[in-house]
Amino acid sequence: MSRLVDRWGRTKFAAITSLAWALPMAAWAGSVDLQPGPGPWVAFGVGLVVLAGWLVLLTRLGGYPVTPRPRRLDFKAMSPSERRWSAGLFLFAVGIIGWLNGAATVDWSILTTSITAGHPGPIALAFGLALLLVLLVAGAVVTWRGSSAAFRRRSAAA
């Protein structure tokens, strides 16, 4: 584990290892209202247990030595412009995840029957949702490029 913390840095290590508890929690959240029975609650329990272990891991993360070098997610070393680009990237990524989560959990049969009937409101809603996804993806691409360029400038200066 010490090698991974040194290789990735503390922030990236914490972000990647958070998937250990986030994925069972996402499985629970996505299936608790769709799947009757104890299955989703088992995923919730597993997620809580792993979350507790992850929090203990985070409390000990500061004790691992990290070789100083330019890292992508080193918030202390980031320039203000790199922080802004990275914050924008985070917001667009959260927006895309939220859009996909909504698309996966909504009953689209109501909208599709209204669209096939030719009602203008549902057609406008579908167009707006598609446009929102395009804008979120475009924003993520632009902010990723800006964040990458700012990181390259910081790395070159170091």
Boundary (domain end) residue, out of 67, 87, 120 = 67
pLDDT in tens, 19-74: 888 888 888 877 777 778 888 888 888 889 999 999 999 999 888 888 877 777 77
Which pLDDT band holds residue 78 (cuts at 50, 70, 90)? confident
Do residue 133 and residue 82 come from a single domain?
yes
Highest mean pLDDT among 23-32, 93-102, 104-113: 93-102
φ, ψ for residue 131, nearest 5 deg: -65, -40
pLDDT band (50, 70, 90) for residue 82:
very high
pLDDT at 71: 77
pLDDT on residue 8 = 84
Indicate if 148 and 84 belong to the same structural domain: yes
- CA 127 → CA 27, 37, 111, 132, 136, distances in Å? 29, 37, 12, 9, 14
User: What total of structural domains would you count in the chain?
Assistant: 2
Per-residue model confidence (pLDDT) at position 146: 96
Percent of the chain predicted with pLDDT > 70: 100
* Both structure tokens of 61: 């993360």
**Domain match, 46 and 77 both:** no
Range(s) of the domain holding residue 9: 1-67
Q: How many CA atoms lie within 13 A of 17 on its CB side?
A: 20
Question: Which residues, 6 or more positions from 129, have their beta carbon under 8 angstroms from its beta carbon?
Answer: 99, 103
pLDDT, mean over the chain: 89
Per-residue confidence (pLDDT) for residue 135, from 0 to 100: 98
User: Do 19 and 83 belong to one domain?
Assistant: no
In eight-state DSSP terms, residue 53 is H
> Residues 127, 132, 137, CA angle at the centre, nearest 5°?
130
Rounded CA separation 139/54 (Å): 31
